[in-house]
Each structure stands twice: as structure tokens, then as C-alpha cells.
Amino acid sequence: MNNLLQAGTLKPTLIFPAGMPRSLEYLEKCKREGQSVIGSSSLAYDVSREKYPAWTYLPYITDPEFNNSLKNVIEEFDIGGIYTPNPVAWSYLNRVLKNINADILLVNEWPVTDELSGYRAATSHARQMFDQPLSLASSLPAKASISQLEIATLFRHGNVIPGMCDDEKISALCEIARYSTKGDVVEIGSWWGKSAFILARLSRCYGIGKTLCVDPWSSEHAVQNDEGGLVDSCIPNYDCEEALRVFEMNLLPYSANDINYLRMPSTAGAKHYGKYKNATTESFGSTDYSGKIAILHIDGNHSYEAAKADIETWSSYVVPGGWIVIDDYVWPYGNGPKRVGDEYLAENLSRISAAFVMGTALFLQLEALVR
């Protein structure tokens, strides 16, 4: 068992070596939580020292003087615990710390556990999906699934992007992509780009088509008129310009002229899409679309009026066999998406071949013309 200490000690935490990226992340966390810290490394001059409120030098752990120096630092600064993301330093300290000062503990787990936890979770999600496949009664035949490794990769990279697309929804999107016809993949409401990444990647893997994201990225359009106003009250805390930059940073590495966006509300976006079948942006260049939608993901403004306008303006582009996904069909802050989904279902029942709710989203597949 390692010398794990619960964070939150009032005494200062020593961060060593203090310049590693994880050390700097930990420093930021301590600052946010009001935990005092002291940075330390074995470099004569460490550029990261400017970032720390206090600093001290320690020799390399291979230096015979290291243990004595550390003992002195602990006493001099009244250190309460030590954080080290370096696996070798961690192993060494985990072994010898009790001999240097019996009261001091490492505040973090074996660093590799932390580094790999996201990969391990993604691998486990992918394994689960293979062990318990979702049975879909689709009007189209299924394509062979992408490999377990591809799915793990999708979860891993997707979950690095902050956003509102949970693992259940990712699993369902993986499955509907197997039963998708060819065409454009259009998302209404992308924000930081999490679900856009998942859709674009699946579209590439299954040869579906190009991805178009439609979002005004503006606080004016973010108003949802949610019941109780809880969602709307958060709007001032978001920066829409930053959200678009984050979206671009998340999607650019994955685009091979097959991802782009329209920075406009969905109804204007539908007109533009129908007329030009093109999106041109400084960051992604110029992308031509087919004008026929294979997967339409509606996750924009959730007021009834806005969600209704989304489906009315975009659904006519969805081809037979295409999918319409209405996010937040189950939503604690209002029933706009649910009313819109139910109305669409009722009005189009005869041409819908599959409908299910998974997580919080409603998935609808239009009847394919040829079985």
C-alpha cells in the first residue's frame, strides 16, 4: 500500500519535480483550492519557478545528499505532503519517505494510474459494447463494426473534449452509424465540439459523408427559456468566442477537408445549406456538401419554438434510411425537445422504421426505400 494522503492538508504541499506538465496542472488545482504549495526541482534554473509562490532546490534523487536535503526542506517549510507525477521519483519516495520523515505522505497515487485511467476507461467501454451489442431493428443492413480498438480510441479522444455527450449516447451513436446510409452528417449545436468529434469520426470510419456543424456561438441565441431559468442563468459565465476557438482546436486535427461549420442560427444555416451546399471558414477552408443528410443531430437551443424550427427547417434534407437524433429528449429543465420529438414521431409514424431513447436522446430512423 502506498503512502496516500487525502488532499486538503493545511500545511504546504511540496511539488517535485515542479516543472512537469502534471505538476503545473496540480499547482493550478492547489491555487484554485487555496492549498499552499512549494515548487522544487533539481535544475540550477527551472523556468517553471516563476509560476510558484515559493520555491526550493533539491538535488536529484540519485544524489547521496537527496534524503538529507529533503528532510531539511520538510522541516524548514513545514511541509504537509509531497506531490510527484514522476514515476521514478514517486517509487523512490514511496519506499524511503517513512525513513526521512515518518509524518509526511505522498498526496498522489502511482502516477501511471492517473495517466492511463482515461485509456483504461475507454478500453473498458469498448469491451462492454462488444460484449453487449445493442440490437437495432433498422431498415438498413448493418455494416461490419469498426474494431474494438477504434471504438476505444473514439471514447478516449471524445472524452478529452469537454461537453455534454455522455458515454451512453456515444455508444448509441456508434451503433446507428453502422446502420447509416451515405450523406452529410449535420449537427445543430456543437459548442466545444464533443459530439461533433464523435459524429465526424464515426462518419469517417463508416464512409458516411462530410460533417457540418451549425451553431451561432452567440449568447443571444443561447437563451433557452428553460423552466426555472437555471440553464439561462449560466449564460453570462460562458465565453462564446472562446467556445468557438475550443471547437476549432478540438476538430481541426481530425479534419481532412471533411469537417466545417456555419456560424449562424440553425434556420439561417438550413437556408445556406440548401442554397450553397458549402461551408467556408478561415480555419477549415472550403467544404462542399452533398445537400442530403444521413445523420441529423439536433442539440441546439432547447426551447420548444427553437427545437421545432430546427426539425422543420432541416428534416426535409434527411434521406430515406437517414437518422434524426434529438438530444435532451429527456431533459430536467423543460420539455421542448420531447414535445418536438413526439410531434415529429406522431406526424411521420408511417415512414419511421426505428425509434428508441438511449441516455437522454431520441433516435429516429426514416424508412429506407430499398431494403
Ligand X SMILES: C[S@@+](CC[C@H](N)C(=O)[O-])C[C@H]1O[C@@H](n2cnc3c(N)ncnc32)[C@H](O)[C@@H]1O
Shortest approach of ligand X to residue 169 CB, angstroms?
A: 8
- State yes or no: residue 221 binds ligand X (CB under 6 A): yes
By beta-carbon proximity to ligand X, the closer residue of 32 and 275 is: 275
CA atoms of 85 and 23, how far apart (whole Å): 6
Site string for ligand X, 132-161 (x = CB under 6 A): ------------------------------
CA atoms of 100 and 288, how far apart (whole Å): 66
- State yes or no: residue 315 binds ligand X (CB under 6 A): no
By beta-carbon proximity to ligand X, the closer residue of 184 and 215 is: 215
Q: Are 251 and 197 in contact (CB under 8 A)?
A: yes
Instruction: Among 19, 39, 81, 189, indicate the residue that binds ligand X (CB under 6 A).
Output: 189
* Three-class DSSP category at 57: strand
- State yes or no: residue 164 binds ligand X (CB under 6 A): yes
Torsion of CA 310, 312, 314, 320, to 10 degrees: 130
* Three-class DSSP category at 88: helix
Tell me the three cell numbers of residue 45.
534554473
Instruction: Among 15, 306, 307, 358, indicate the residue that binds ligand X (CB under 6 A).
Output: 306
- State yes or no: residue 308 binds ligand X (CB under 6 A): no
Where would I find the beta strands (DSSP E) of the chain?
13-15, 37-41, 55-57, 81-83, 105-106, 184-188, 211-214, 259-262, 278-281, 285-288, 293-298, 318-326, 352-358, 361-366
CA atoms of 367 and 120, how far apart (whole Å): 38
By beta-carbon proximity to ligand X, the closer residue of 30 and 262 is: 262
Give the range of 65-73, 80-88, 252-260, 297-305 binding ligand X by CB under 6 A: 297-305
Give the range of 139-147, 191-199, 341-349, 362-370 binding ligand X by CB under 6 A: 191-199
CA atoms of 43 and 57, how far apart (whole Å): 8
- State yes or no: residue 295 binds ligand X (CB under 6 A): no
Do you know the residue count of the chain?
371
Shortest approach of ligand X to residue 198 CB, angstroms?
A: 8
- State yes or no: residue 214 binds ligand X (CB under 6 A): yes
Instruction: Among 251, 299, 315, 340, indicate the residue that binds ligand X (CB under 6 A).
Output: 299
- State yes or no: residue 190 binds ligand X (CB under 6 A): yes
Instruction: Among 23, 94, 139, 266, indicate the residue that binds ligand X (CB under 6 A).
Output: 266
**Integer angstrom CA distances of residue 206 from 179, 209, 222, 321:** 9, 9, 32, 15
For residue 82, what are the β-bridge partners? 14, 106
SS3 content of the chain, % helix, strand, coil (to 5): 45, 20, 35
Instruction: Among 12, 85, 209, 300, indicate the residue that binds ligand X (CB under 6 A).
Output: 300
CA atoms of 289 and 254, how far apart (whole Å): 17
By beta-carbon proximity to ligand X, the closer residue of 112 and 230 is: 230
By beta-carbon proximity to ligand X, the closer residue of 137 and 249 is: 249
In the chain, the amino acid numbered 23 is S
CA atoms of 261 and 245, how far apart (whole Å): 12
By beta-carbon proximity to ligand X, the closer residue of 294 and 309 is: 309
Peptide bond into 17 cis (omega under 30): yes
Q: Which of residues 194-213 bind ligand X (CB under 6 A)?
A: 194-195
Tell me the three cell numbers of residue 123.
478500453
CA atoms of 281 and 285, how far apart (whole Å): 5
By beta-carbon proximity to ligand X, the closer residue of 60 and 238 is: 238
CA atoms of 82 and 40, how far apart (whole Å): 11
Shortest approach of ligand X to residue 269 CB, angstroms?
A: 7
- State yes or no: residue 217 binds ligand X (CB under 6 A): yes
CA atoms of 224 and 300, how far apart (whole Å): 9
Shortest approach of ligand X to residue 262 CB, angstroms?
A: 9
Shortest approach of ligand X to residue 188 CB, angstroms?
A: 5
Tell me the three cell numbers of residue 128.
462492454
- State yes or no: residue 251 binds ligand X (CB under 6 A): no
By beta-carbon proximity to ligand X, the closer residue of 175 and 299 is: 299
Shortest approach of ligand X to residue 168 CB, angstroms?
A: 13
Chain positions contacting ligand X, by CB under 6 A = 163-165, 188-192, 194-195, 214-217, 221-222, 265-266, 299-301, 306
